[in-house]
Amino acid sequence: MTVSLMTLDPSVQMPAQMSTFAPAVDDIYYFIYWMSVVFLVGITGAAAYFSWKYKRKPGVKAEPTGHNTVLEIGWTVAPIFVLIYLFHAGFKGYLDLAVAPADAMEVRVRGLQWSWDFEYPNGAHMNQLVVPVNKPVKLIMSSSDVLHAFFVPAFRVKRDLVPGMYTSLWFQATQTGETNVFCAEYCGGRSTENAQSGHWSMITKAKILSADEFDKQMSAAVGPPEGKTTEQWGEILYKSKNCFGCHTVDGSKGAGPSWKGKFGSTETLSDGSQIKIDENYIRESMLDPQAKIVQGFGPVMPTYKGILNDKEIDALISYIKTLK
Ligand code: CUA
């Protein structure tokens, strides 16, 4: 009974259909939508018509009309069948969404205040979701701090990332291209001149590539990009890992200390002790940010343990050293 409204273009109500789930989700949505339109018009229309037709007239006395058994049973039973259909369609769709195919490619997703980290089978990390077209992809998701929610409207998938547990979802993209990934759970933020530090900055892209292009990007993502020095790679990571959300490189104050002139300087920590900023301090601050906090800053940095590998940490430290 479902007429598939498969469209690649977004409609007024729905974004483009870019996964195998989209047609089924939209079919149920539009079924409920049009059913509601029909009943809204039918019921309001009938109510208006009857109030006009049977309005009080001089000399006419109202009398009980009795009842119509067939009609009453009919309008009680008919909706039951509609509800059974909706339950069936919804439950079937839910099962499809809940159980990933065994051959799905697994991607680890971490949500942190305030960015995403996607880890691919070859160990590459990105802050965007990159997937091959026409291949099932399973996301194993966790949160480094608070509740986040992974939401890709064009795929019609959404699930919470919960601290202390794994959640997962899967999808199969049906066309190459690009679409938006949102965090759909308000996960905090500060009022600061820096617009990058908050829930709203957790918007990123999902890129759907051909199998060849996907393999190419994956192998390029595990080390410094071709022709770049370690320092330059560090600068790229500074942007792609969202370090810039809290740390400036021009000396101005953000949620965290600016990186400018930081390397080799002596800082006072929140407990009053002094420390010289060296490689070990920076490394520790990335992996265990609450261990030694510079005075005047809050304990707000998430850990990058499992997100930055050793090579990337080295590259970031090399970059910080260049910021004199
Ligand atoms: Cu993460 Cu909102």
Report residues whose beta carbon is within 6 angstroms of any ligand 1 atom: 111, 148, 183, 185-187, 199, 202
Per DSSP (E only), the strands in 195-307 are: 204-209, 266-268, 274-276
Helix (H) or strand (E) holding 125: strand 125-126
113 Cα nearest atom in ligand 1: 1
Summarize pLDDT for 203-252 with one digit per residue, the tens: 999 999 999 999 888 887 777 777 788 888 899 889 888 888 889 999 88
CB-based contact 89:130 (threshold 8 Å):
no
- In angstroms and rounded to an integer, the radius of gyration of the C-alpha atoms of the chain is 28
Of the candidates 165, 162, 120, which has an alpha carbon nearest to the alpha carbon of residue 139? 120
188 Cα nearest atom in ligand 1: 2
Cα 184 to ligand 1 centre (Å): 6
Nearest CA to ligand 1 atom 1: 148
**316 has pLDDT over 60:** yes
Taking the model in full, what pTM does it have?
0.69
Summarize pLDDT for 6-60 with one digit per residue, the tens: 445 677 888 889 999 998 899 999 999 999 999 999 999 999 999 999 888 888 8
Torsion, CA 46, CA 49, CA 51, CA 56, rounded to 10: -140
| pLDDT score recorded for residue 219 | 80
Bridge partners, 269 (sequence order)? 294
| pLDDT score recorded for residue 63 | 82
114 Cα nearest atom in ligand 1: 1
Cα 168 to ligand 1 centre (Å): 17
Cβ density class 43-63: b for 16+ within 10 Å, e for less: eeeeeeeeeeeeeeeeeeeee
